[in-house]
Every structure is written in structure tokens, then in C-alpha cells.
Structure 1
Amino acid sequence: MPNEKKQQIDVKKRIPSPKAKELFHDIRRKHEIGKNDLLISSGLTVSTLTRVLDELVGSGIISESGLGVSTGGRRPILYQVQGDYGYAFGLDISRVTSRLVLLDLAGDKLDATEWRMTEETTPERFMEQIIMQVHEWMDKHHIDFEQVIGMGIGAVGPLNREIGMIEEPEWFAAPGWNHVPAVHMLEDRLGIPVILDNGANTALIAESWANRTKDFRHMLYVHGGTGLRLGMMTDNKLIHGAVDMEGSFGQMIIQADGLPYRTTQGNFGALDTYASVYAIEREVNSRLRTGRSSVLRQLLPSGEPAKFPDIMQALKAMDPLVTEIVTQAATYFGIGLANLLNIMNPEKVILGGPLMTDSNLFFYTATQTAIRKTYHYPKYQVIFSKGTYGEEAIAIGAAQLMLSQLTV
């Protein structure tokens, strides 16, 4: 596909009527929904509902999918989203591994890929990879430019969402990741709408979508990896602070006279210093230098520091040293999580990232610690989950963020 700039199609004008947007929102959150149910939920008259549904069907954004079960009268007409009406790309920009996914309008995943973020993965090179992949998938899946709703990005913060910029993230392997105008770079080269939010928020959007029939009003998402990332949602709406707050959970002070943060910008005794991939690697290597025995000595070349994948391999071998350190880090994480629960009182908490996906020990130690230290327990019950989408949650949620712009 040629790389020329094309005129963007305004996402918010694809469904111009407010009533049509409300109906489409209700239909999109169901696999199928009957006209009678839409009549009840919308509060519209029969004639207005019929007219608006006919408009949506005529535009090709929804379709009639059959007849439902009769409750005494005629069998109701069922409606569903027409998946091939449009498509959205979801991009996860993270420090270690980044991902791109392609969803259709119904939220079904059509394709996915990932990249390791190396010392050569500068913003410019990375964006070129994304642009090439977008073009390749559009050819592969026979997607016309007019069918592309846009691209959502879930990125490491801090961010400026209003101008679409990744501001000053830490710990990328490659240089150049400060003040990256990600939205402008991709909109200019692809000619499609692009929207940016932090990765914890987009992961929470994905998990909220997966739980859309469960009616959870208050949810949290915490990502445990190189750093700690947090997203919050109430009544299916993300909570955005005055500034990007993705990294705020990691700066929670749990020991006022504790260890210094790994950079000069952080707090002494911050949770991130005790309960992140960085913290586990630091503690393991410190103990190895003091002469502690571990299977890591057989796994690593002489003099090489232990990295997180090596540590997880030792954990699977039930290495006592690694088990002790991971348990300690998970306990600290659980204390921080309990502080969040006592303030926010969510109904469900999704825990993602390599600390959770690579280690059942970390997940269960952290959640049990949090439960024991939660105020009003056992009266207050919270559901913990590793989520539905795993490591793809950030990218899938980013695509869903773009699709949700249709009803804004």
C-alpha cells in the first residue's frame, strides 16, 4: 500500500445522531440484543426506536441477526454489530515488549504481533515498524482505508493525553523516548485517527470489556513489571487525575526511612523499590554477591547478573533463595494493594504484567496479604483476577478505546 497521506474520517461523525450512538453502545456491549430489550433500556418510543435502528442497519454498522425467543407475542428481532464495518489497531508501547493488535468492530481479534524493545528500538525505528505492519495487515485482511476507525495507543507514562505525547518515561533500553509526539507521528504517516492513553488504563478498558455482562461498577488494574502501573474505573468510566497518574502506585511510601528510589525523582521507601522486577533482580544479585547458594550459579555464566527470566527459571526449580525474595516482594506488593483497597473499595482487581503472569507464588502471596490487611474484611469482599487477555490486554484495550470513540 502506498504511504501517502489521506484525509482522516472523523470518528465521532460516523454515527451522527446521539440516539443512534446510545443504541449502538448498548448493542455493541452484547453479542446479540432483542428489540424489546432495546425498547426498555433506551426509553424510546416504538416508532423512534424502529427509525433509529433502521438508520443503523442502513449504514451497515449493525445487522439483524435473527429472531429471539417469544415471550407471548411476536418473536423479537435480534441485532448485532457488523464486525466488518470497521477495524481498529491497538498499540502497546512498553519498555521490554511492545505489541500491535487488529480488532474488528465487534471486538474480535484478527491479528497480533510483538516486538522486543532493544537498544536499537528508537521511537523513529519503532514507528516505522508499526506503519509497515499496519499496511501489511490491511493488505492481508483486505481492509480499505475507509474501514479503518483508527488506532489506540496504550503507553508507558507519564503522558500528555491532550496533545498525544509520551513525556519522560524511564528505563527504555533505547535513547530518544522523551517527549515523543506519538499521536502526531502515526496520524501524519498513516492518515488515520490516533488516540493515546496510559497502558494501565487501556488494559483496564480491555478487562472491563471482558466483564461487560458482570456489571462491576468499580474496578482496578495494577500492572507489575519493570515498574508498577495503575488504572482505575468507576461506573465504566476511567478516572483521570490532573496529571497522568499511571506510576503513582509505585510511588506509594510504605517505609518512610526505607531504601532510596532508583532515580532522584522518586520517594524514599516507595513500593516500586520493594515490589517490582527491578526490586527482585536487585535483591537476588545482592544476595548472590554475599555468597548465598542458588541454582542461579549453575544457570548463569560466571560473573553475569541474574535477570528476571533467569530468576523465574530458578523459581520454577523451587530455589530457596529466589522463593524467599519473591515472597518478600509479593508481601510488600500486597501491603500496597491493601492500602489501595482501603481507599478505593473496588469490586474487582485485575493484576497483570510479568510479576503476575510468570509467577503464581507472587500473585497468591500478594492477594492473600492484601485480603488480610483490608479494612472491613470479611464483610468487604473483593475479586482478584489475572485477567482475560494476559499480556495482550494493553493493546486490546487500546483498540477498544479507539472503537469507543464512535459513541462519544
Structure 2
Amino acid sequence: MVKHIKGIPSVKKAVYDLIASRRDIAKADIMEHFRLTSSSLTRLLDEMTREGWIMESGFGQSTGGRRPILYQINAGARYILGLDISRIYSVLGLYDMEMKPLELLRWNMDEQMTPQRLVEHVGRQTHELLLRHQLDREQVIGMGVGAVGPLSREQGRILNPLYFAAPGWNDVPLRSWLEEATGLPVILENGANTALIGEHWMVRSENIRHMLYVHIGTGLRSAMMSNGRIVHGAVDMEGSIGQMIIQTDGPRLHGSGNYGALEAFASVQAVEQQVRARSKMSREQWTGGSLALKPEAINFATIVQALDSGNEYVREIFAQSAAYMGIGLANLINVLHPEHIILGGVMISANDLFYNTAIAVAEQNIYYSDSYQPEFSRGILQETAVSTGAAVMVWNEMEI
């Protein structure tokens, strides 16, 4: 178990969290949030300053007496590693205490990237990162990991994920392997939850308490935050959105999962299947541009090229897929009622058509549309949301 985790945050950590969220905050403002005497808070701030966790950042406005001292966290007090393990690529980031990346490393998850090779690669890259930035291992609090699920957070294991290019990803004790390879404590969470944690960090000053994150890529993944906390089910539910039934007795993706499930209409694989099928039936429709290919050679990259070049048939498939996604979003929104919905993944970044259509359909089907208007966005972090959120997990649960 990660040695920095504790169940209830100390007053010291709570004060630190407040200073981090506000930046340049005076002692009087801190006292409004805690039942501490002035002398007790002064001693605590002096202790945190001596230990290097916070530092004085100047003086505030005078209200009649001396100008108050302002405090902010020391970004270089410690460092955290955030790891994003996805089906297509992975990212390892070194972050300071303000969650600013000092360096980000990215590599493809090809047929050779088995769990053992990934762990060896992360261990080697961790060592080289610390050397390049002249850091001792003791200066690093730990490593957070956001990985494709389903997984067991308690056991630190990836269970039975789909669609990895390399073999061997079933029942992987990832946390213990990474701890051994890096010499650091490790926290494991599914990638959708981790991405939402990262995006929430970026808007934490806006006091958004209820957020929904949906990743639309090779598969569909989602995460929900209620009252500022990630919602966990009895089992890891990262990919459950993909099995939401949109059309009774509809198709299944690759012959598995629910009939008429959302993933069979609104995912990279679903779009690839539909384009290939239509190209076989109506070959003359695909004789121009990037789709002058055999159906089996068509992939998502060539489909996006055709969409960008104005291919009407691809546009029709994309728009239809996005409309199904909008229905799925409306179903989630009508149950969960988030304030803010973030859409991510390659289907969102590929072309504005999918994003705009999905939102338009969702908004048309929100039940409390007159009094309830959630906000939609692509997020702030986007491609680095998972690695940043993984680092934030460690930040949230550390002791000081």
C-alpha cells in the first residue's frame, strides 16, 4: 500500500490544500476556514515554511494596519510522476507540486509492448528523468497511474482489458511491478477517472462539484464526479457506458457485448466497420481520395482524411455515429445531472462534426432543459488529462 496515503487529512495537509487552491493567501483568510487560534496557525505556517512546503510570496493590501504576509505553496518542494497507460500510446510525466509538467515522455503501445516491457521501460525512463532533472528519488512522493480498465484499485491489478495490441494484459499485478521497478509507492486508478481528476484540478477554483467525463476512442469510457469525489461502483465501471443499449436488438461490436450497445455505433471500431462495410457494398462511392483502398486497408486515419477532404459518405457515417453518442450522453445526463460534461478521445479530436453533433443531440434530449443547462467542453488538459490526473491522485493522498 502506498505509504503516503491516509484516511483523514491532517490539519496541516488541509491548510496546505487551501493555500494551493487559492495561491497568495493571507493568514486571516486561512483562519476563516479552520478552528485554530492565531498563535496555533502562526506556528503551523512557520513549520510548513521551515520544511519547505510553503513560502512567503509578498504582501497583501492593508486594511488599516500592517500589510499581511501572503503565502503560496513551494512548487519545488517535492515531485510526482504521472503515468497514462492507454491502448494506443502511453505517457509518463514528471510534475512539480503545482502540477506543472517538467517533462512528458510518450511512446506507442504496439504489439511488442507487453506489460513486462512497459514496466521495464517505465523503470528505465523514471531513472533517466530523475538524472536529467538532478533529483534524488527521495524528492519524488510517488507515482500515480491511470490505466485502461477494468481493474482492481484495491489489489493494484489490471484485470481483463480489451483491444491491447500486445498480449499478456490479463490479470497483471501492475502496482507491485511498478513499485519494484521504480522504487516508488504507486496508486492505480482507471484512466477515465484519472482524466476527470486531472480536468477537475484545472477548474478547482470554479467550485464545480458534479462533472461527467466521456472518452470516445477505440472503446468508450466514462467517469462521474459527485460533490467533488469520484463515483466508484461495486466493480470498475470505466467501460460500462459502451454497453448502454441504444437500439433494441441492434448490432454487437465484434460479436460480443450487448446487442444494440452504444459502442457498436459510436466508437472508432464501429465507424471503421461501417465504412468498410459500405465500401464493399458500393465500391464506386470510395474510388476517390484516401479511400481508393481495399476495404481491409481502410482504418481510422484514412477515414479522417476522407472526412477532411469532403467525402459525403464518411460525413454521413460520422454524423450518424455522433447522433447515437448524443443519445447516450442524454441518457447519462438525465440520470446524473452533472454541471459540466467533458468529451475526449480521438473521435472528438478528429473533427468538429462529431463533437458539435453529439452535443446538439444531447441538448435536445435533456429532460429538465428549461431549468437545467449543463456546460460541455473538450477539457483543458485533453491529451495529458490522464497523466496529470494520475499525479493529482498522489498529491491528494500524500501526507506532509
Pick the TM interval, shorter chain: over 0.9
Q: Compared with structure 1, are the counterparts of its residues 9 and 95 closer, same or farther at alpha carbon in structure 2 (3 Å cutoff)?
A: closer
Structure 1 residue matching 2:398: 3-state secondary structure: helix
* Residue number in structure 2 paired with 1:311: 303
* Residue number in structure 2 paired with 1:103: 95
Q: Distance in 1 between matches of 2:264 and 2:293?
A: 27
- Asked if 2 retains the 8 angstrom alpha-carbon contact of 1:295 and 1:319, the reply is no
- Asked if 1 retains the 8 angstrom alpha-carbon contact of 2:347 and 2:354, the reply is yes
- Asked if 1 retains the 8 angstrom alpha-carbon contact of 2:192 and 2:215, the reply is yes
Q: How does 1:257-406 map to 2 (within 5 A)?
A: 257-264=249-256, 266-292=257-283, 293-294=285-286, 298-299=290-291, 301-302=293-294, 304-406=296-398
Shift of 1:310: 1.2
Structure 2 residue matching 1:154: 3-state secondary structure: strand
Q: 1:113 aligns with which of 72, 82, 105?
A: 105
Shift of 1:67: 1.0
CA offsets per residue over residues 215-248 of structure 1, 9 Å max, x none? 1110011101001101111122111111101001
- Asked if 2 retains the 8 angstrom alpha-carbon contact of 1:231 and 1:246, the reply is yes
| TM-score, normalised via structure 1 length | 0.94
Whether 2:193 is the aligned partner of 1:201: answer yes
Q: Distance in 1 between matches of 2:70 and 2:290?
A: 62
* Residue number in structure 1 paired with 2:141: 149
Q: Compared with structure 1, are the counterparts of its residues 303 and 334 closer, same or farther at alpha carbon in structure 2 (3 Å cutoff)?
A: closer
CA offsets per residue over residues 4-61 of structure 1, 9 Å max, x none? xxxx993248xx9811011011112233222121111223221121121112112111
Number of residue equivalences: 398
Q: Compared with structure 1, are the counterparts of its residues 107 and 303 closer, same or farther at alpha carbon in structure 2 (3 Å cutoff)?
A: closer
User: CA-atom RMSD, angstroms?
Assistant: 1.8
Q: Compared with structure 1, are the counterparts of its residues 298 and 211 closer, same or farther at alpha carbon in structure 2 (3 Å cutoff)?
A: closer
Q: 2:222 aligns with which of 230, 235, 239?
A: 230
Instruction: Give the aligned residue type for 2:274.
Output: E
Structure 1 residue matching 2:189: 3-state secondary structure: strand
Q: Distance in 1 between matches of 2:313 and 2:64?
A: 67
* Residue number in structure 2 paired with 1:4: none
- Asked if 1 retains the 8 angstrom alpha-carbon contact of 2:327 and 2:365, the reply is yes
Q: Distance in 1 between matches of 2:195 and 2:295?
A: 38
- Asked if 1 retains the 8 angstrom alpha-carbon contact of 2:55 and 2:74, the reply is yes
* Residue number in structure 1 paired with 2:151: 159
- Asked if 1 retains the 8 angstrom alpha-carbon contact of 2:290 and 2:302, the reply is no
Structure 2, gaps ≥5 residues long: none
Q: Distance in 2 between matches of 1:57 and 1:73?
A: 24
- Asked if 1 retains the 8 angstrom alpha-carbon contact of 2:217 and 2:268, the reply is yes
- Asked if 1 retains the 8 angstrom alpha-carbon contact of 2:291 and 2:303, the reply is no
* Residue number in structure 1 paired with 2:178: 186
Q: 2:208 aligns with which of 208, 216, 219?
A: 216
Q: How does 1:21-60 map to 2 (within 5 A)?
A: 21-60=13-52
* Residue number in structure 2 paired with 1:126: 118
Instruction: Give the aligned residue type for 2:138.
Output: E
Q: Distance in 1 between matches of 2:9 and 2:243?
A: 44
Q: 1:20 aligns with which of 5, 9, 12?
A: 12
- Asked if 2 retains the 8 angstrom alpha-carbon contact of 1:151 and 1:195, the reply is yes
Shift of 1:378: 2.9
CA offsets per residue over residues 76-102 of structure 1, 9 Å max, x none? 211111111111111111111111111
- Asked if 2 retains the 8 angstrom alpha-carbon contact of 1:296 and 1:310, the reply is no
Shift of 1:294: 3.1
Q: 1:248 aligns with which of 233, 236, 240?
A: 240
Q: Distance in 1 between matches of 2:288 and 2:133?
A: 46
- Asked if 1 retains the 8 angstrom alpha-carbon contact of 2:280 and 2:295, the reply is no
Larger mean Cα displacement after TM superposition, 63-72 or 177-186: 63-72
Identical aligned residues as a percent: 47
| TM-score, normalised via structure 2 length | 0.96
Shift of 1:295: 6.1
Structure 2 residue matching 1:11: 3-state secondary structure: coil
Q: Compared with structure 1, are the counterparts of its residues 392 and 294 closer, same or farther at alpha carbon in structure 2 (3 Å cutoff)?
A: same
Q: Distance in 1 between matches of 2:365 and 2:117?
A: 46
- Asked if 2 retains the 8 angstrom alpha-carbon contact of 1:218 and 1:236, the reply is yes
Shift of 1:252: 0.6
Q: Distance in 2 between matches of 1:97 and 1:231?
A: 20
